[in-house]
Amino acid sequence: MPGPWVRSLAVYRDRRVLSIVFFGFASGLPLLLVGPTLSAWLRDEGVSLTEIGFVTLVGMAYGLKFLWAPIVDRLPLPFLTRRLGRRRAWLLASQAGLIAALPVLGSADPATPAGLRAVVAWGLVVAFLSATQDIAVDAYRTEILDEMKLGAGAAAVQFGYRIGMLAAGGGCLIVADLADWFAAYAVMAGLMSVGVLATLLNPEPAAPPAAPVPSSAARDPLRRLLLRAREAAVRPFLEFTTRPGWWAILLFVAFYRYGDSLLGVMANPFYLDLGFTKTEIGVVSKGFGLAMTLLGTGVAGVLVARLGILPSLLVGGVFQAASNLMFVFQAVVGPSLPALAATIAVENLSGGLAAGAFVAYLSSLCNVAFTATQYALLSSLAAFAGRLFASAGGAVADRVSWAGYFALTTVAALPGLFLLVWMTRRFPPARRPSGPATAATTS
């Protein structure tokens, strides 16, 4: 008889978990096409570095997706919502839009002023559609899985996401080298059909009961519209603030990966200062490191299935904090490739473990009536806090040794862990919120 940990691996045999790999692929594919791959194309066409820097601001759409997440939560799409359901309708609409927009973006000629303006315009369209797909994918993944499989879902979406980024990074460059940039972007548009097939072949998550509309509002179209707008934009926030310890949850979301944020922003400068070549950094940190990250997220899925989300968060957080000490070891050893491989292995494995548990935790916080909006808000808070905390990393690193800096990043991870332990005792975990929307019941 297999042991309980081996049996926990069965979570990855669930058809719903496996399907999320393909949604992750479709979600990760467009990201680089308006980021590093777009930068490579523009430079290949002789565009200045200053202009490239401004053009890549189109990717800001990913950080602002919480602004239109309420629309994805509430607005039905003509014909599609009735046939596919609220989640798959938005998935298919955004995927179809990307399939149409990517070849148009690739057909522009950035070597001319008019062509560069077209790249910016269509880059914004692609980024908006891609961010919209991300909103729908996160909501779909959260709603289709029960709580014990959220960790496996986080691992699955990360695995697909990374493969999609690999296709849009290395794959797109190879096609451009063999043919041209239009062909490269057209091939990427074709690969988006993976997401379309996943949308069409998989079930729609169960929708929460619709909120009743007061009879007075039913007779007043303007009032009905205002109630729906309030339901979409305000109710997700109000519902969240009714939960015990909601303010502690927000603090925890902001601080859980504090130490990792400080480490990540200074990792590459640290490698270069030690004397590693760019090739060594790329092969070990990006190639081998990616494999370790995926392994870590896979382990997170098993831990969540076996232990639950909060214990998995604690295990991931402890390993994540301890792994920063490997960089202290690296600073003492110096430019040793075996030491670098060990450092990257421990740090990325621990980081993947913590990230997988964290994504599962964010998903578990979402009420299925407002999944898209609440997940977009929580993930945006985590991302914003990470960037804000990381911005201080350089100033600290300038004033201490590398060993001292990475020791401080370990200490910086402790507040999140203490807060997690306190929250677990003060506000014991409850079932994932799934109550219906009720804002429109007030007259």
Give residue-wise pLDDT tens across range 378-421: 888 887 787 777 777 778 888 889 999 999 999 999 999 999 99
pTM summary value: 0.76
pLDDT value of position 442 = 32
Structure confidence at residue 192 as a pLDDT band (50, 70, 90): very high
How much is the average pLDDT of 132-157? 87
Q: Write out pLDDT tens, residues 70-99.
A: 888 888 899 999 999 989 999 999 999 999
pLDDT at 440 over 50: no
Does residue 59 register a pLDDT over 90?
no
Q: Is the pLDDT of residue 56 over 80?
A: no
Among residues 185, 75, 57, 210, the alpha carbon closest in space to that of 136 is found at: 75
Q: In the prediction, which pLDDT does 439 show?
A: 38
Q: How long is the chain?
A: 443
Model pLDDT, residue 441 = 34
Return the higher-pLDDT residue of 196 and 218.
196
Determine the pLDDT at residue 286.
67
Domains present along the chain, CATH in parentheses: 4-201 (1.20.1250.20), 230-426 (1.20.1250.20)
Q: What is the pLDDT of residue 38?
A: 87
Eight-class DSSP state of 399: T
pLDDT band at 224 (very low <50, low <70, confident <90, very high): low
What is residue 312's predicted lDDT score, i.e. its pLDDT? 92
Q: What is the Rg, in whole angstroms, of the alpha carbon atoms belonging to the chain?
A: 23
Across the range 238-258, mean pLDDT stands at 89
282 or 187, higher pLDDT:
187
- As a whole number of angstroms, the distance between CA 161 and CA 196 comes to 15
Q: Are 352 and 154 in contact (CB under 8 A)?
A: no
Check residue 229 and give its pLDDT.
Answer: 64
Output the pLDDT for position 232: 67
Triad 266, 377, 146: Cα angle to 5°:
100
Percent of the chain whose predicted confidence (pLDDT) is above 70: 88
Burial string for 228-248 (b: 16+ CB within 10 Å, else e) reads beebbbebbeebbeeeeeeee
CA distance 164 to 175: 15
Does residue 443 carry a pLDDT above 50?
Answer: no
pLDDT in tens, 263-284: 887 887 888 888 888 778 777 8
Note the pLDDT of residue 32. 84
pLDDT digits (tens, 9 = 90+) for 14-40: 888 899 999 999 999 998 898 878 888
Mean pLDDT of all residues in 305-326 = 91
Higher pLDDT, 252 or 148: 252
**Lowest-confidence segment of 107-116, 138-147, 281-290 by average pLDDT:** 281-290
Specify the residue for token string 């046939």.
83
